[in-house]
Amino acid sequence: MSHEMTDPETLAANAREKLESIRSREAPLTTRDRRAIERQEMPSQAPEVRRSNMCEVALGLTPEQAQIEAMRCIQCKNQPCVEGCPVRIDIPGFIKQIAEGNFQGAIDIIKQNSLLPAVCGRVCPQEEQCQAVCTVGKMAKDVDKAVSIGRLERFAADWEREQGTFEVPEVKPATGKKVAVIGSGPASITVAADVRREGHQVTVFEAFHRPGGVMIYGIPEFRLPKSIVDLEIQTLTKMGVEIKTDFVVGRTRKLTDLMKKDGYDAVFVGTGAGLPKFMNVEGENLVGVFSANEYLTRSNLMKAYEKELADTPIYPSRKVAVLGGGNVAMDSARTALRLGAQEVHIIYRRTMNEMPARVEEVHHAQEEGVVFDLLQNPVRILGDDHGCVKAIEVQRFELGEPDASGRRSPVPIPGSEFMMEVDTVIVAIGNESNPLIRQTTDGLTVNKRGNIIVDDNCKTSIDGVYAGGDIVLGAATVILAMGEGRRAAAAINEMLASKA
């Protein structure tokens, strides 16, 4: 796709014209008319420009574009899209408001179900959720032609933020009860807000010096501006939530001591899936091999991309191999480009179809020049005399016979190994749950992968202790973490209400 199609000025001008012509019509839009409206492209920074800056790639629909895009929705009676959304946002409802130009009305509807629309509109895997089942896309037999629900959600949230009219949610009178929230990712932010609203005192404990979880240290600025996350945190603070950074529960204080010594009536654990997996191949400890977590944390949280200002160094790379095919791999590859690497390869064992990354991120990575080496898998990493990475040995794969599930899984081709010279390898094959809390909390039940086991109300094996997000689900998504947070908060509120 050439970038002309996403050039902001052209897109805005086209949309103004289009909207005029729709408005000047006599008859209301029929379903047929709506289906004939083309999907509005997202205005974006041109690839050759953005690959050398950290600013956001997707610039957001213009108000005219948003209205036109909203008109594509045919307001299905059965609302399949709502079922596709993990938090059941009233999608036709808010889209109708946008189509009518009532942007405030739209955001009010969204906020009944979602606390982080500016974030989810940007990072949700929409093509697998709400948009996957959208009737408009189904009728066109192309999920890319579905109504851009995520972009519209983002539009409404950004519009509200830009108005500066954002109101701090109301907080009920103090109940005298105290709730501790561990971690400050999307699950925890949601719990903190929902519990605080009921008038309980809430303290968020975050191990890092800056709150926000993966949204701050993992997902890069060019995909999710940190100012958006900071604003969500500020809202919490304005609601009277106390945020204690530099506080590692399990070390600075044990979870059970928060209840026993510090008098918290309930605890929510939202500590995420922060334990990087490695491949266990030879050479993985060489200088120049990083977990994606380390690479991204150095760049995002520690701001290493500001090379002149930041004290935290980042490895100077020329040619990089990123192992994996998820969002984390895309983020690492695109960060490496922006930090000055000349050539970046994604090495992935399967094909494009199985890549778990959001479609938009894969697409953006391709536009920026990331090379996709599919059906390939690393065998070992080779070092030079100083213990630094100099090459990676890779084996080719092919798709084998369909297995029981009908999926053709990749099988290695014997003798197909070859060497690729690289100076950096970033391992982005996923995260497991961090063991710190379970190691330091007696009686907390976890499954064999180390995820905390909870019941339907997000309650753990310990009374008063709830958990949600990646620490329960394994590495999942922002919206699922938020959804669990809502459920946990409701259960905590109910539990506290029943305690006189």
Partner 1 sequence: MPLILEKKQLSADVFRLRVQAPLIAEERKAGQFIILQVNDGFGERIPLTIADADPAEGSITLIFQRVGKTTRLLSELNEGDNIAHLVGPLGKPTHVEKVGHVVVVGGGIGVAPSYPIAQAMKQAGNKLTVIMGARNKDLIIMEDEMRAIADDLIICTDDGSVGRKALVTEPLKELCESAEKPDLVIAIGPPIMMKFCAKTTEPYAVHTLVSLNTIMVDGTGMCGGCRVNVGGEVRFVCVDGPEFDGHKVDFDNMMSRLKSYKEQEHSKSCKLDAAIKAKEAEMAQ
Tell me the C-alpha distance between 95 and 487, whole Å. Answer: 25
The β-bridge relationship of strands 389-402 and 376-383 is antiparallel
Nearest to 485 by CA among 255, 234, 189, 273: 189
Q: With CB under 8 A as the contact rule, which of the stretches 73-81, 149-157, 299-307, 354-362 interacts with partner 1?
A: 299-307
Helix then strand then coil, % of the chain, to nearest 5:
40, 15, 45
Which residues of this chain interact with ligand SF4, rule CB under 6 A?
Answer: 73-76, 79-81, 85, 87, 89, 91-92, 114, 120-121, 124, 126, 129-130, 134-136, 147, 149-150, 153, 479
Give the length of the chain. Answer: 500
Report whether 149 contacts 123 (CB < 8 A): no
Which residues inside 304-323 make contact with partner 1, applying CB under 8 A? 306, 309-313, 315-316
Number of C-alpha atoms within 13 angstroms, CB side, residue 431?
Answer: 26
Report whether 71 contacts 37 (CB < 8 A): yes
Q: Which of 202, 296, 362, 391 binds ligand FAD (CB under 6 A)?
A: 296
First to last CA, the chain: 62
Instruction: Identify which of residues 83 and 421 has a Cβ nearer to ligand SF4 in the complex.
Output: 83
x-or-dash string of contact with ligand FAD, 113-152, rule CB under 6 A: ----------xx----------------------------
431: which strand partners? 276
Which residues inside 362-401 make contact with partner 1, applying CB under 8 A? 386-388
Smallest distance from the beta carbon of 297 to partner 1, in angstroms?
Answer: 6
Q: Per CB under 8 A, does 246 bind partner 1?
A: yes
291 binds, among partner 1, ligand SF4, ligand FAD, none (CB under 5 to 8 A by kind): partner 1
Please state at what angle helix 186-197 crosses helix 226-238, rounded to 10 degrees: 20
Report whether 40 contacts 147 (CB < 8 A): no
Q: Which of 291, 327, 335, 451 binds partner 1 (CB under 8 A)?
A: 291
Instruction: Identify which of residues 74 and 320 has a Cβ nearer to ligand SF4 in the complex.
Output: 74
Distance of CA 118 to the CA centre of its chain: 11
Tell me the C-alpha distance between 474 and 478, whole Å. Answer: 12
Q: With CB under 6 A as the contact rule, which of the stretches 103-111, 208-216, 280-288, 339-347 interacts with ligand FAD?
A: 208-216
Instruction: Identify which of residues 35 and 303 has a Cβ nearer to ligand FAD in the complex.
Output: 303
Which residues inside 233-292 make contact with ligand FAD, applying CB under 6 A? 248-250, 270-272, 274
Instruction: Identify which of residues 55 and 411 has a Cβ nearer to ligand FAD in the complex.
Output: 55
236 binds, among ligand SF4, partner 1, ligand FAD, none (CB under 5 to 8 A by kind): none
Report whether 469 contacts 481 (CB < 8 A): yes
Residue type, 443: G
Instruction: Identify which of residues 71 and 462 has a Cβ nearer to ligand SF4 in the complex.
Output: 71
Kind plus residue range of the DSSP H or E element containing 438: helix 436-440
Identify the DSSP state of 148.
-
Q: With CB under 6 A as the contact rule, which of the stretches 50-58, 85-93, 414-422, 477-485 interacts with ligand FAD?
A: 477-485
Tell me the C-alpha distance between 229 and 393, whole Å. Answer: 40
214 binds, among ligand FAD, ligand SF4, partner 1, none (CB under 5 to 8 A by kind): ligand FAD
Name the residues that contact partner 1, by CB under 8 A: 207-209, 245-248, 251-253, 274-276, 278, 280, 284-288, 290-291, 293-294, 297-298, 302-303, 306, 309-313, 315-316, 386-388, 434-436
